[in-house]
Amino acid sequence: MQTIHSAAYTLLRRHGMTTIFGNPGSNELPFLKSFPQDFRYILGLHEGAVVGMADGYALASGKPAFVNLHAAAGTGNGMGALTNSWYSHSPLVITAGQQVRPMIGVEAMLANVDAVQLPKPLVKWSYEPANAQDVPRALSQAIHYANTTPKAPVYLSIPYDDWDAPCPPGVEHLFERQVQVAGTPDAAQLQALIKQLDQARNPVLVLGPEVDATLGNAHAAALADKLRLPVWIAPSASRCPFPTRHPSFRGVLPAAIAGISKTLAGHDLILVVGAPVFRYHQFAPGDYLPAGARLLHITSDPQEAARAPMGDALIGDIAATLRALAEGVAQQARSYPEALPAPQPMADEPRHLRPETLFDVLDAVAPEDAIYVKESTSTTSAFWQRMNLRHPGSYYFPAAGGLGFGLPAAVGVQLAQPQRRVIALIGDGSANYGITALWTAAQYRVPVVFVILKNGTYGALRWFAGVLKAEDAPGLDVPGLDFCAIAEGYGVKAVHTDTRAGFEAALRAALDANEPTVIEVPTVTIEPH
């Protein structure tokens, strides 16, 4: 007799979801018993790290990642990380164990009293099957729905007495189902877009994370080569959708209404692809668009299209639309935009390196296809100015700005992309939010190079304190942290260096190793903009 337990593992196997990220409690043990040998379980020591690792894995693999959390408390612990997953369109299938069905109503210990409501609004579907026989169908729906454009996390609460129940008739049909999306604009829509681009006097292209997620980077570059237009990355960039040494590349737009209008002044057509319009941050009111400009928005997310305060939107497949536009527009005779000035070397301070120095060394020493997982928010502008990112899937940053993404996500990205080297650039303030991921990296020998930029403060917060005239606010500094001692306590090799030569030597050694390494570097505090 096939049980709900065996059917669930068959379903996961058919979808290639044989890696499970979790932190189990008693409610989850009935699901994890008789764990199949062809599956692997990646244990995290805190649910926030578990969700972060799964998030990185899903982003880097482009496939749904399976998460197993513990009831209400475990789900709550993971929800901070879930904010990033929601805004990065990460296809996570999150399951949580529920108390046995006869004990939910009396609110026994570890009962998730309102399980379906708990993870909202950070999931696009949340469900608790009404009976055990509905569990396989619900799990199938969760997998397909998480992976359906726009991709997003989903949540299932499953009472633990369901796993031993017999399967309903017809469950085998779930194992063979496929759900596909066809969203290419029709000929008339494409021709209208092509005509506007061809006739524009001074167009500009703004690209977002969906371009990288759909591997549309090369099509975006081809479009830029045909139109010879400047290319910006949309504000609050969580991925890199365009080669940073391309002659059209301009940088990342500021995350402010007035700042974007000022930056894009003079353009008559703004084409935004694969990004919200726009992810603002600091409050700097002004006109949404510069005078005389029209905006066209291409996205796969109906919510992004509907909530935008300006422009015309088209909902469709990002990579396919970019490819069709690149093939359809006329080759323009105008020159590429004026070259950006080359970044200049920066002088380090005694026993403190500048972040720019670290990035220069990384750009020179790391493999050209290295993947950077970044959570040093105060060094964002310096990073984009100095790094040569040329391959898809080379950069990940917390999409909602929620700290705790970087360390765990780097572990997940490395698990998903073992053929590429992952380098995590983590601020000393943010490192503590996901520090337990070091244990996972050590136990599973995940060879991430963790670079901790240690400036003793929340650098981005320091900058905001100046903007908001709140320099006297408490809690801005984090002195007394020893990341080498912390890393070694978790079983990770660690080295402290405060010179350029020492950092380069430590980086080369870490890249040659087949185990994780922490490199702690005292750094100067710089502004993010």
Over the stretch 376-404, which tens digit does the pLDDT of each residue have?
988 999 999 999 999 999 999 999 998 99
20 band by pLDDT with thresholds 50, 70 and 90: very high
**Out of 3.40.50.720, 3.40.50.10490, 3.40.50.10800, 3.40.50.1220, which CATH number does the structure's domain 187-328 have?**
3.40.50.1220
- Decide if pLDDT at 172 tops 60: yes
* pLDDT score for 32: 97
CA distances from 385 to 56, 220, 243, 262, 360 (A): 24, 20, 12, 20, 10
| Average pLDDT over every residue of 126-131 | 97
CA distances from 97 to 32, 102, 484 (A): 11, 14, 36
Instruction: Provide the Cα torsion 444, 432, 500, 442; round to 10°.
Output: -10
Q: Which residue in 47, 210, 375, 504 is the catalytic one?
A: 47
The Cα–Cα gap between 414 and 28 comes to 26
The Cα–Cα gap between 403 and 288 comes to 29
- Decide if pLDDT at 230 tops 80: yes
| Average pLDDT over every residue of 252-276 | 97
Residue holding tokens 């509905």? 134
Give the domain 4-176 fold: Rossmann fold (3.40.50)
401 is catalytic: yes
70 is catalytic: yes
Locate CATH 3.40.50.970 in the chain: 4-176, 355-522
- Decide if pLDDT at 234 tops 90: yes
Q: Which residue in 28, 210, 375, 504 is the catalytic one?
A: 28
* SS3 state at 180: coil
489 is catalytic: no
* pLDDT score for 350: 86
Give the domain 355-522 fold: Rossmann fold (3.40.50)
* pLDDT score for 52: 98
Nearest to 207 by CA among 196, 194, 223: 223
Least confident of 138-147, 163-172, 175-184, 388-397: 175-184
Percentage of residues of the chain with pLDDT beyond 70: 97
Locate CATH 3.40.50.1220 in the chain: 187-328
* SS3 state at 416: helix
Local structure of residue 345 (DSSP, 8 states): P
| Average pLDDT over every residue of 135-159 | 97
- In whole numbers, what is the pLDDT of the chain averaged over residues? 94
- Decide if pLDDT at 495 tops 80: yes
CA angle 21, 25, 27 (to 5 degrees): 105
The Cα–Cα gap between 382 and 366 comes to 17
Residue type at 227? L
Q: Which residue in 5, 15, 22, 25 is the catalytic one?
A: 25
47 is catalytic: yes
* pLDDT score for 344: 84
458 band by pLDDT with thresholds 50, 70 and 90: low
Structure-block tokens of residue 495: 């080295």
488 is catalytic: no
CA 485 to chain centre: 29
Least confident of 69-78, 99-108, 135-144, 242-251: 99-108
Contact 17, 67 (CB under 8 A): no
Q: pTM value?
A: 0.95
- Decide if pLDDT at 14 tops 70: yes
| Average pLDDT over every residue of 141-167 | 96
Q: Which residue in 6, 76, 246, 281 is the catalytic one?
A: 281
| Average pLDDT over every residue of 312-329 | 96
Q: Quick: pLDDT tens for 35-50.
A: 999 999 999 999 999 9
Beta bridge partners of 426: 375, 452
Q: Which residue in 5, 15, 46, 70 is the catalytic one?
A: 70
Task: Please state the three-class secondary structure of 491-529 as a single string.
Answer: CCEEEECCCHHHHHHHHHHHHHCCCCEEEEEEECCCCCC
The Cα–Cα gap between 388 and 363 comes to 7
Structure-block tokens of residue 309: 């305060």
